[in-house]
Amino acid sequence: MALELPEAMNLAKQMDHDLSGKTIKHMQLTEDCASLIRQGFVNLDRKNLDSHKVVSVSSKGKWIFVKLDPPTYLLFALETGGKILYHKSGESLPDKFHMKLDFGDGTFLTVRILGWGFAKALREEELEATKYPGKLGISPVNDEEFTLESFNGILDEGGANIVKKVLLDQWKIAGIGNGYCQDILFRARIHPKRKANDLSAKERKTLYSTIKDILNEAVRLGGSDWERDLYDHQGGYRRLMGEGVKGKPCPKCGTAIEKISLLGSSSYICPSCQK
């Protein structure tokens, strides 16, 4: 699975607490990082972050922003999964990792990217000019940005696009991935192939509330139980839909859960609840 908004928020909060004020002594990239560099997902082979100090760590959408001094942003997005782990001095290294940051006090950070993901260092002006993540959409857990009015505007712009595509558009709403999208649509009783402009006012309001409820619940619980936090602890949010549920009874009506392929990924649905 992938790290989405709840996991990124939780990791950023933990990293901000434990890394702020620390100075990077040395950065190491392993041989496994070569393919990610070739694909343009990692640019750290061309960056020297030694002697940079961690100012703060924050998140937006699926992205983690490590603000450094001299002014640089170290960015992480584990799009198809991975781990960012914090280690105290003397702890053993994980079996596999792509990147290691040693800090002046002997602690260190390891990063492992499963499938594909990003680890980049950019100046602020470079960040703003980058389409992704420089132009991320509104946060669905920010009550000032994500209002029913703004959500209706996004659905209107989505037009005849299916609702799953609209929810996954990071330039509109930042942070929802395929994992939470499935739970959101299931709980809102909306089929992922429904067109955005076909949703009634009642369905729009239900979908809006469900997005907020599920993501805020997952943030409160430290992310999904399929993922790990900075200290390698499991999250507390249990997903309703995902791998392993095909053919099992729907928790609401008992109908067998079906698996469909949509937009290059799997979607698990209840054919009765999500008509």
Q: State pLDDT tens for residues 204-260.
A: 999 999 999 999 999 999 999 989 999 999 999 999 998 889 999 999 999 999 999
Q: How many Å separate Cα 139 from the centre of its chain?
A: 12
Confidence (pLDDT) at 116: 86
Contact (Cβ atoms closer than 8 angstroms) between residue 70 and residue 121? no
Confidence (pLDDT) at 273: 96
Query: What parts of the chain have a pLDDT lower than 50?
Result: none
Confidence (pLDDT) at 70: 95
Among 12, 130, 20, which Cα is nearest to 62's?
Answer: 12
Tokens representing 173 are: 């709403």
Q: Which domains does the chain have, with CATH numbers?
A: 5-134 (3.20.190.10), 148-226+238-269 (1.10.8.50)
Contact (Cβ atoms closer than 8 angstroms) between residue 164 and residue 198? no
Confidence (pLDDT) at 128: 84
Beta-carbon contacts of 235 under 8 Å, excluding residues fewer than 6 positions away, are 6, 7, 10, 218, 221, 222, 223, 224, 225, 226, 227, 228, 229
Confidence (pLDDT) at 84: 97
Confidence (pLDDT) at 1: 60
Distances (CA, A) of 104 to 27, 50, 58, 108, 115: 12, 10, 22, 9, 31
Mode of pairing for the β-strands spanning 53-60 and 63-69: antiparallel
- Where does residue 90 fall: left (phi above 0), alpha (psi -120 to 50 degrees), or beta otherwise? left
- The CB-side HSE value for 212 (13 A sphere, CA atoms) comes to 16
Among 28, 202, 196, 192, which Cα is nearest to 99's?
Answer: 28
Contact (Cβ atoms closer than 8 angstroms) between residue 103 and residue 24? yes
Eight-state DSSP code of residue 173: B
